[in-house]
Amino acid sequence: MKGNLTVSTDRIAADIAALAEITEPERPWTRRSFTPMFDRGRDWLRDAFAAAGLEVSTDAGGNLIGRRPGAVSGLGTILIGSHSDTVPDGGRFDGIAGVITALEIARALDERGISLRHDLAVVDFLAEEVSGFGVSCIGSRAMAGVMPPEWLTRQWEGRSLRDAIAAVGGAPAQLGTPLSAPLKAYLELHIEQGTVLERAGIDIGLVGAIAGITRIEITVTGRPDHAGTTPMDARADALVAAAGLVTAVRDEASRPRAGRHFTATVGEFEIAPNAANVIPGHVRMLIDARAEQRPDMEAFIAWAQALKAPGVSLDIRVISDNPPVPMDPGLLAVLARAADDAGISQRPMTSGAGHDAAYMARLGPAAMVFVPSKDGRSHTAEEWTETIEIALGAEVMARTVIEIDKEGE
């Protein structure tokens, strides 16, 4: 089957290359949301959606949608897509592969003369990546009706998020409730952004859950003293204590959890007074912890809150705490059968990164398909996935769309 796909590898490659050309000069591949370059990418997508015969519109949350009406009204929508915005200096496939896959599925259905009973909608979500406004998944949160209203007052480069959403065609005044009726299904293809599939030589990953993300702030308070005159056994060095805590976090996160996904990273670290001849008296560190299963996170939070360090005081606070989002088992089962029927190898996975699918799961059954990332690289100019790898994921999704459209006949 791999040599006889119903989706077009040539079209997928051409579309991704065309979007890659729309980038900040000397900064491949930079097309951040709410910038002129992002607007150019949106114009290209709008034209491509229209050329595929889709009915193109922008919803109140600033999401670009191409709709293919179904033969039976009132059955609900099968939604497929991802996002076209990028992080700075890296995003040739991240998000873009999912949007182009969705577009290609719509075209392949037309080529094969397949009429769906359900509406099919292709979506480019607004600002999945962290935007200049400091927040992410703006479009999918808006569609699900869960974007915090206070976000609209956030400021960046002299304008509010409210004005920025309006500028891309959204309607901020209409936000606050779900922008879509319950979905028949939501499907999203995404590059893995890791090494699991490549190392195993497996074609696709079926994402069973999007990991919950918890951030824990630890403040270490010691005593600043003269670095040259204070004896080594008379110090309250906050940095020495913090260094031990960083290692302890790494060791606790590395503890076996029966194959369940769990990570913890000290990604922010501040030291004061930060002078060569002063013993550090203060350290602030932020732990980013991610778990597939909520009990694992609860155990880690309890472990972190019980941390001690000799000679210093610790203040430990949970800054944010978001639970994992399971994907729909029934939809995953259809994806698995589609892969088996096509001779495409698969394995279950957990997403350690956040995705728009986490918010679409509030509106109906949702699932994700991962495709390999070369060397696991992502959010970098070296990010790469072969076209055939994307096409195999697209094939599985196209077959799944056809199958779930038949449910209830």
By C-alpha distance, which of 185, 165, 166, 25 is closest to 120? 185
According to CATH, the topology of domain 212-322 is Alpha-Beta Plaits (3.30.70)
Provide the pLDDT for residue 181: 86
- DSSP-derived pairing of the beta strands 204-210 and 325-326: antiparallel
Asked if residue 273 has a cis previous peptide bond (ω within 30° of 0), the answer is: yes
- 382 CB neighbour count, 10 Å cutoff: 12
Both tokens of 294, joined, read: 């909520």
- 14 CB neighbour count, 10 Å cutoff: 13
Topology match between the domains 9-210+325-405 and 212-322: no
Class of domain 9-210+325-405: alpha beta
Question: Which residue shows structure tokens 């959606």?
Answer: 49
Q: Which residues contact 108 (CB under 8 A, 6 or more apart)?
A: 6, 7, 8, 398
pLDDT confidence bin for 222, thresholds 50/70/90: very high
Provide the pLDDT for residue 91: 81
- DSSP-derived pairing of the beta strands 77-83 and 185-191: parallel
Both tokens of 312, joined, read: 């210093």
Percent of the chain with pLDDT over 90: 96
Sorted by where each begins, the domain ranges of the chain are 9-210+325-405, 212-322
Q: Which residues contact 176 (CB under 8 A, 6 or more apart)?
A: 145, 149
pLDDT confidence bin for 4, thresholds 50/70/90: confident
What single letter denotes the amino acid at residue 378?
S
Model confidence over 364-396: pLDDT tens digits?
A: 999 999 999 999 999 999 999 999 999 999 999
d(CA 203, CA 391): 10
- 193 CB neighbour count, 10 Å cutoff: 18
Model confidence over 324-372: pLDDT tens digits?
A: 999 999 999 999 999 999 999 999 999 999 999 999 999 999 999 999 9
Is residue 2 scored above 90 in pLDDT? no
